[in-house]
Amino acid sequence: MTRPLWTSDEIREATGGKVTAPFEVTGVSIDTRTMEPGDLFVALKDQRDGHDFVANAFEAGASAALVSREIEGVEGPLIIVDDVMDAIEAMGVFARDRATGCHRVAVTGSVGKTSVKEMIARMFRAGGHAHWSVKSFNNHWGVPLTLARMPAETEYAVFEIGMSTPGEIAPRSQMVQPHTALVTKIAPAHLEGMGSIEGVAREKADIFAGLQPGGAIILPHEDAFCALMKEIALRHQPGAEVYTFGRSEDASARVELYRTDGDRSVIGVKALATFWEARINTVGEHWAENVAAAILAACVGSGISFHIAEEALWGYAPPPGRGTSEELPLPCGGSMILVDDAYNANPESMRAALSSFAARPGDRHIVALGEMLEVGSASETEHCSLADPVLESGATLAFLAGEGMKPLADSLEGRIETHWAVKAKELETVVKNSLTNGDLLLIKGSNASGMGQLADRLRQWSKAADEQVMDRGPEGAAGGADAV
């Protein structure tokens, strides 16, 4: 019989809450739209008050709900606590401590942290019973929720930790208490909250605040703030071992090979005197550093061999919205390739996306870029500086959205065809009307810029057109005898 994730007695022990009736749960959820039967529903207060959805949770099959007050008209089991956020944090710590044999890794960075986390999770799954952050659950509720979802028998776990203002990373690292902690790269992101790129580096280095004695510190060797982050890391944990990744001869994991056919990449890394090679389903030289970082984080101190990790990584593809490519049929006939990198953007990731876009084959390169948010007073300069990377990507047509993108639009005027709008949705019609067979379209922008929604609407448009062709059949689609 499979052990439940939580019993009511365990949750009471972890939180000190009042249990209205005994229960067992197989999962933990904060969203009634995605929860599974048997889950514990956690009534968090964020943009909405989860207490308003407790009845919906039980209708969806919740086994119990974690709340801070009685809920009228609900008959399902409740565990009532003083503060729901405090309770889920307590459950996270309890789950961490009960998984006594678990090797934990924490990942942060300005760019690449979700992709690297997914690579590590892939290698951990090959090594044994693994647990990892889903999507980008890396904030004040995402980290404790991920911990609270961790089964007691977990052998390997990887946690993504993010921030937007000072003081956020250290408490989350202390909650996870990683055996290995990794910084992917420092870039000008969250400058509005952090004030400077050095401030970003200092905050990211607090990923080592909870590092366990004898743990591993992993840093980007060529990063301008590597020495500063090493100093902060060793201040947190003086006995830790320091590893680096990059292209330098002195890096612990050194990139020695990168080649691509425009759809996939072959990457060779020499890590701790062992050479290994991986083939991944994405494009861009920055992926080589991601792979080098991931192999170190997955193997150092975990007991997982480089051989197992190497085999597990073959065939890796990035998470949705982070450089995935797909073929979309067009209503006018033929198809185009959509490169969706719209999950988020900062100057570093924007340049990397444009650089890798240049390596992709296609009849015509088109970019649709949303403004980069949270870059502070450098916004105009950073947006304007993308002009050369856009041109070097091979783009002959650019769609730009957001006030921040206006300087780039002005810089590109007269050099390539450019369309600018305040909102991404205002570009939808002109983008659709511009696409022809064989086009290659890159969509990228900050999460709040609306570019992800533009990508979704293009998919829906393409799907509707494809279904219409299928309904008409091949004769109708080609313009048969009844065509006017």
Alpha helix locations (H) across 359-437? Answer: 379-384, 387-392, 406-412, 428-434
pLDDT of residue 466: 65
Residue-wise pLDDT for 402-461, tens only, equals: 999 999 999 999 999 999 999 999 999 999 999 999 999 999 998 889 999 999 999 999
Among candidates 10, 212, 209, 179, which has minimal Cα distance to 91? 10
Question: 285 in helix, strand or coil?
Answer: coil
Distances 411 to 19, 121, 385, 422 between C-alpha atoms, Å? 63, 42, 9, 17
Mean pLDDT of 53-65: 96
Q: How confident is the model at residue 362 (pLDDT cuts 50, 70, 90)?
A: confident
pLDDT of residue 190: 67
Which two three-digit tokens encode residue 32? 């009634």
Residue-wise pLDDT for 274-325, tens only, equals: 998 999 999 999 999 999 999 999 999 999 999 999 999 999 999 888 888 9
In whole angstroms, give the CA distance from residue 60 to residue 307.
Answer: 43
Query: How many of the other CB atoms lie within 10 Å of CB of 370?
Result: 30
Distances 104 to 143, 153, 179, 298, 300 between C-alpha atoms, Å? 13, 13, 5, 10, 11
Q: Tell me the CA end-to-end span of the chain in Å, nearest whole number.
A: 66
Residue-wise pLDDT for 89-142, tens only, equals: 999 999 999 999 999 999 999 999 999 999 999 999 999 999 999 987 888 899
